[in-house]
Structure 1
């Protein structure tokens, strides 16, 4: 099965009124970005260290509401050689936090013709619930291969044994939900975890690298084949982070380090010209990064039909 072919087959069902998958080729590697829906979150979480007036001005400039904002929630499926790799696993069931617009991944994978039993590897950028949730949905584990490999940084697994929420700025209920999801995930999938220290090649041209910052084990995935390159940056980059990379996102466990990581990655992307995909950029979140004075500029691709 070619992910490029499956992306253009079929039509949206009655509950699929927006595009939910987008395919491209990175050399010989097939890539499909799949939307898990959107997370509706307080606008203050764009930058809890920023002046509220500056946050409101950014939202107004981008024709966005200032009180609540819909964040994209994207995952990526990669086919490299004989391996089918799921990068992050979406929200899954709504953990009683009023996130009804997300948790679409299982049926959107099915609609794209991707059988869960065909997935050989899962790469987790980190263990927040919106990146592991589908794996915890009832009946999903039984559909996965018994020899499925789940790649995650060792520092991430260790962090969630005693997570530190002292520097975050999350709405009420989120820390408990995040803690519970990570604990359950570690218990249910411990035997399938394949941890790494700093960097690991999951498949030919597919390399996961720990960055830290957002969480201690937060990682990015770099794809390279035939001169083409793409980075899936997980939660290192948010929409506001191009113009305001020093603004702290409410979910960052080490916001100062997260800002340093963000600037480093954006500089790298601007210098290399490679494509960027990130979890919470608007779907399909494929584009380039350009330097814009002392900050950066997001340049979305033109959709290729």
Structure 2
């Protein structure tokens, strides 16, 4: 399915919201780092969620990590994601659509606050995390079963929309299943006033991952992970990665009081 054409009724503004950070090492970030024969060094990750806005229409992309999820894994909370959303005028309880790009703790940590939202997620993704595989050690660090239970609860309420392949959830907003990092990892293709933007989420954690073909340390399917990078590199869109610490500075700050925490795409030059 191709993305919608660029026209006034299909263009969106994107809010890139940084809520957390982690200081670590390159060898902890890139899979089999020793294979690259490079010295180790410090490395910084950032944690994001995103919001799309078109007039009164709003679509949430992921929910960030919760304070409990961050504490459990030693992550730094720069700002409570829900308070940031509220400060920007977005009410999680308003019932706006929510896209879950994949079901890791740092992308679904505040789901209970979105109690009225329809949720879009890959069928493969939800099936994986509700199977016994989701509890295995190499997956369970990132896939918190307490938070997976929030997804299951939403499905029981009839709010979860599962799909395969791709789906257009609004004019100018297309979800594409690429897999790799997780079985149903999604990217989001968005039409904006400055052209197409792709929220890669964790199909590409960092620009270095794209530029140097270096995979992140945790990948469910290595061949599909490489193919996802190939897919992104073949796009002419602006690529927004899932955890690059410099991502927030690539775009215009929404307001000086949010500088370093919130940037926008689609209201000026990307």
The match for 1:91 is 65
Partner deviation per Cα, 1:77-113 (whole Å, 9 max, x = no partner) = 0023653111011011233121133562111112212
Aligned mate of 2:161, from 187, 194, 210: 194
Q: SS where residue 91 of structure 1 aligns?
A: coil
Q: CA deviation at 1:152?
A: 0.4
Q: Distance in 1 between matches of 2:168 and 2:249?
A: 24
Q: CA deviation at 1:45?
A: 3.1
Q: SS where residue 174 of structure 2 aligns?
A: strand
Aligned mate of 1:109, from 85, 110, 113: 85
Q: How many residues align?
A: 242
Higher helix share: 2
Q: SS where residue 51 of structure 1 aligns?
A: helix
Instruction: Indicate how the Cα distance of structure 1 residues 41 and 124 shifts in structure 2: closer, same or farther if over 3 A, else same.
Output: farther
The match for 2:183 is 216
Q: Which runs of 5 or more structure 1 residues have no equivalent in the other structure?
A: 1-24, 60-64, 288-300
Residue 33, structure 1, aligned to residue 16, structure 2? yes
Instruction: Indicate how the Cα distance of structure 1 residues 285 and 238 shifts in structure 2: closer, same or farther if over 3 A, else same.
Output: farther
Residue 161, structure 1, aligned to residue 130, structure 2? yes
Q: Which runs of 5 or more structure 2 residues have no equivalent in the other structure?
A: 1-7, 252-264
Residue 259, structure 1, aligned to residue 216, structure 2? no
Kept after mapping to 2: 8 A contact 1:81/1:204: no
Instruction: Indicate how the Cα distance of structure 1 residues 94 and 280 shifts in structure 2: closer, same or farther if over 3 A, else same.
Output: same
Instruction: Indicate how the Cα distance of structure 1 residues 93 and 101 shifts in structure 2: closer, same or farther if over 3 A, else same.
Output: closer
Residue 241, structure 1, aligned to residue 209, structure 2? yes
Indicate the larger mover: 106-115 or 26-35: 26-35
Indicate the larger mover: 195-204 or 25-34: 25-34
Q: CA deviation at 1:185?
A: 2.4
The match for 2:240 is 277
Q: Distance in 1 between matches of 2:142 and 2:135?
A: 16
Partner deviation per Cα, 1:234-292 (whole Å, 9 max, x = no partner) = 101132313321x3312211133212211221222xxx2x21112201231657xxxxx
Higher relative contact order (CA 8 A, sep 6+): 2
Kept after mapping to 2: 8 A contact 1:26/1:230: no
Compute the RMSD of aligned alpha carbons.
3.1
